[in-house]
Structure 1
Amino acid sequence: MMSQGLHLDLVVLAILAAFIAYSLFSRAINRSILTLPIIFMCLGYALAEPLRMAAPQEVLDEGKRLLAEITLVLVLFADASHVQFSKLRQNWKLPARMLLIGLPLSILLGTLVTFLVSPEGGVAMALLTAAVLTPTDAALAQGVVTNSSVPEELSETINVESGLNDGLVLPFVLLGAILASAGMMQASTDGLARDALTQIVLGPLAGIATGWLVARLMDLAQSRRLIAAAAEGVVFVAAAFAAYVLAEVIGGNGFIAAFVAGMIFGNSYRHNIHFVREFMEGAGQILTMSSFLVFGALLLPDGLAHASLKTVVIAVLFLTVVRVGAIWLSLLGSGLKTRDKLFLGWFGPRGLASILFTLVIMDEFDFPDEAELLACVSMTVALSILAHGLSSTPLARRIGKR
């Protein structure tokens, strides 16, 4: 027992050393082709076997679920809080096309592709797979979003889309998981639509109430100089989880609530919300590192073990035909050049949201072909981390030379 405890301590020490090393050399790493997701996915994969030997499986399962829920709540709240309605009025057409047309098209095309490649899973599993693999991750496209060579219209569009699509796709993930689970258990679908509708309706209501109330209270505290600067980040974290818990109490979906609360908070709060950015760049980055490390250590090995030609084909099609095709169709008539449409279509990397959705739904639901879903997500995210991470800087420079 002592030997196992010492083994776990050494693994944890190696992980903390990696966190420190990355932070120390972060500026130099940002100038290279390496990215945070690439580094910590590979590190996690290297530590997969030592980690499994050092801790019981139930402890690892409970830990990854807790990490997934915490990270997903904060990411949804933080991403949504940065989307300002006032700015969207000036540059809303491209993001609106990609979110209102491109996102449903991605889910529709993804469902069709998955069902055609793997029909034995059924339509419900195809829908669930498509929904989980639709949201994009701005962390994998930082080389594009922050590159001054990229036209502001394109970088802002990628930023807004990645900030909103993970929250907008949540109802589809929930619906797919419920239908797939009900089909497996051969359960009656009576009340299924009602339960899903209840979660989708009450979740936003909890988010609206929490986001607006906390914003008003913070404005009042700021105006009267009652709140210390260090406490602003505490309010941000507490507000995100308050929305989640309130929704769960009244029967809504907590993740949808966190997303809506962030959007309402960001647009109701009258002062600078710099503390959200500061938190996500500090403590939030540790959660991001941990999530990609957990993906590499606990999901990727299982995904690769169950990978097949079908899962590889699905992964490649989601990163190319499904994503690029859906965005291309959504941007028809927008006036963009062909290279710009392809650029926006390609930079829809799959990452944190897909990982976290998979961890959460696999813990909450039982459905058929879990191993194949895990393999599809693992292959898609791993390929995306490598392909988008390595291509972001070169393509950003190329698009800037128009």
Structure 2
Amino acid sequence: MVEPYIVLLIGFGALVLLTAWLPMVLKEAPLSLPILCVIIGAAIFASPFDISVPNLATNLPVAERFTELVVIISLMGAALKIDRKIGWRSWMMTWRLLGLAMPVTIFVLAVLGQAMLGLGIATALLLAASLAPTDPVLASDIQVGPPKTGKEDEARFALTSEAGLNDGLAFPFIMCAIALAQAGQTGEPWLLRWFGVEVIWRLSVGVGVGVCLGYLLGWLVFRLPNRAKLSRTGDGFVALGITVSVYGVTEALHGYGFVSVFVAGLALRASERNHDYHQTLHDFAEQLERILMMVALVIFGGLLWSGGIFDALTWTAAGYALLAIFVVRPIAGWISLWRTNCPTTERAVISFFGIRGLGTIYYLAYALPKGPFEETELVWSAACLTVLISIFLHGATVTPVMRMIDRRNKTGVASAEARKLTSPQ
């Protein structure tokens, strides 16, 4: 009988190879890498080999730290992709998605959590805030292309920038849910402290540290005398060092590390916008993210198969998940982009692709041990079903939808050029 360790070793090696091979195979197919990872995970843990599925409820610290690592690496990769300079007008769709779509989504999902699932206000808010952000990990297929490739249409840019910032901006709502749950037990006032610390201080620290360290690291990478600057090494793993350093410093100062990592990536890119080393950093971050994502989703597939994650699932919880994916986010996104210059088709695409993923798992693993939340098994079941639906729905539709967007953009460019050539001088 082959030892389970050897089976896992073989499986991990095969997974790494698939990380490189599958994106090429799936490039034109209506499938995505996350879909296959979940299927592979379910198949592995359904096999006759004695491979036990970790219990999510008793391994929350492990789940929290692992998903945290995947998310911050994804945030750095997303920031390094963005060619567009940050600005009020040029990022208007991003600000609308963050300032309107996400709060509306959280409010509606919290109300539905109370009405449909019978959750208390704190637990309903926690579930809603965990499901609201667009996931930067699983949204990689709808993001802008690598640095300086020109693949930055409005839909891709909006979804990339939204995913980069809203994971961090959801944190004040998560902390509000924790404060509500704790106050319900202790009776202590919480609102002023939450607003002062969790909103003002931690957001300010996240943005401030991200800007300062991003430009400082940009100077170390690009501006030092020729023999000393980091870009001369040509090593992509510098991206990992930058990511974890920025995240660690921000968390040590009690700021929001997710915000800081993305902002630092933008600042690093702005410090020397057109340097070829950005491509090297991006490529390493993307490869590392892909490997970690595949491991996480294989385990997620195993949990779905035999981890008991759906034991508490009810028909109303399933209805909640469907409403979150098909109704709440699309309508909130559509309303938030009202009266912008975004074409109707791209507006619909942005509204539809509010992907849920590993960020949801991270938030729940982070918050649930910190407060007396009720119906935690039901919360996990509803959240994981929402993530599963998103993986399959958005994964199956992303390739044909983005091809349609690309065709429309090419047609529009060709028509504009034709009009320019035929117009009187």
Q: Distance in 1 between the 2:257 and 2:405 partners? A: 39
Query: Where does residue 31 of structure 2 map in the other structure?
Result: 34
The one-letter code of the counterpart of 2:130 is V
Query: Where does residue 108 of structure 2 map in the other structure?
Result: 109
Q: Distance in 2 between the 1:56 and 1:311 partners? A: 21
2:290 corresponds to 1:288? no
The one-letter code of the counterpart of 1:92 is W
Q: 1:217 to 1:309 in 2, by over 3 A?
A: same
2:120 corresponds to 1:122? yes
CA contact (8 A) 1:37 1:289 kept: yes
Q: Distance in 2 between the 1:377 and 1:23 partners? A: 30
Q: Please give the per-residue CA displacement for 1:305-327, whole angstroms capped at 9, x wherever unaligned.
A: 22111221111111121101101
RMSD: 3.4
Q: Distance in 2 between the 1:250 and 1:380 partners? A: 33
The one-letter code of the counterpart of 2:167 is D
Q: Distance in 1 between the 2:57 and 2:113 partners? A: 31
CA contact (8 A) 2:167 2:258 kept: no
Q: Distance in 2 between the 1:380 and 1:56 partners? A: 20
Query: Where does residue 395 of structure 1 map in the other structure?
Result: 401
Query: Where does residue 380 of structure 1 map in the other structure?
Result: 386
How far off is 1:136 after superposition? 1.4
CA contact (8 A) 1:244 1:258 kept: yes
Q: 1:366 to 1:294 in 2, by over 3 A?
A: farther
Query: Where does residue 41 of structure 2 map in the other structure?
Result: 44
Q: Distance in 2 between the 1:15 and 1:101 partners? A: 42
CA contact (8 A) 2:213 2:246 kept: yes
2:163 corresponds to 1:162? yes
Query: Where does residue 351 of structure 2 map in the other structure?
Result: 345
How far off is 1:176 after superposition? 2.3
Query: Where does residue 69 of structure 2 map in the other structure?
Result: 70
Q: Secondary structure at the match of 1:395?
A: helix
Q: Please give the per-residue CA displacement for 1:81-121, whole angstroms capped at 9, x wherever unaligned.
A: 44455265674333332222222222222222222212x32
Q: 1:196 aligns with which of 187, 198, 216?
A: 198
Give the TM-score normalised by structure 2.
0.80
CA contact (8 A) 2:211 2:264 kept: yes
Greater shift, 84-93 or 353-362, is seen at: 84-93
Q: 1:203 to 1:96 in 2, by over 3 A?
A: closer
CA contact (8 A) 2:222 2:231 kept: no
Query: Where does residue 421 of structure 2 map in the other structure?
Result: none
Q: Distance in 2 between the 1:41 and 1:314 partners? A: 22
How far off is 1:359 after superposition? 3.1
How far off is 1:60 after superposition? 5.8
Q: Please give the per-residue CA displacement for 1:37-59, whole angstroms capped at 9, x wherever unaligned.
A: 10111222333466763879899
Greater shift, 85-94 or 41-50, is seen at: 85-94
The one-letter code of the counterpart of 1:26 is P
Q: Please give the per-residue CA displacement for 1:214-253, whole angstroms capped at 9, x wherever unaligned.
A: 2222222375554365564343222222222223333334
Q: 1:178 to 1:48 in 2, by over 3 A?
A: farther
Greater shift, 348-357 or 81-90, is seen at: 81-90
Q: Distance in 1 between the 2:206 and 2:218 partners? A: 18
Q: 1:250 to 1:269 in 2, by over 3 A?
A: same
Give the TM-score normalised by structure 1.
0.84
CA contact (8 A) 1:315 1:380 kept: yes
How far off is 1:23 after superposition? 2.2
Unaligned runs of 5+ in 1: none
Q: Distance in 2 between the 1:366 and 1:78 partners? A: 36
Unaligned runs of 5+ in 2: 409-425
How far off is 1:380 after superposition? 0.6
Query: Where does residue 92 of structure 2 map in the other structure?
Result: 93
Q: Secondary structure at the match of 2:363?
A: helix
Q: 2:309 aligns with which of 291, 303, 307?
A: 303
The one-letter code of the counterpart of 1:33 is P
The one-letter code of the counterpart of 2:269 is G
Specify which structure has the higher proportion of helix.
1
The one-letter code of the counterpart of 2:134 is T
How far off is 1:397 after superposition? 4.1
How far off is 1:333 after superposition? 1.8
CA contact (8 A) 2:70 2:137 kept: no
Q: Map 1:118-157; keep pairs closer than 5 Å.
A: 118=117, 120-137=118-135, 140-141=138-139, 144-145=142-143, 152-157=153-158
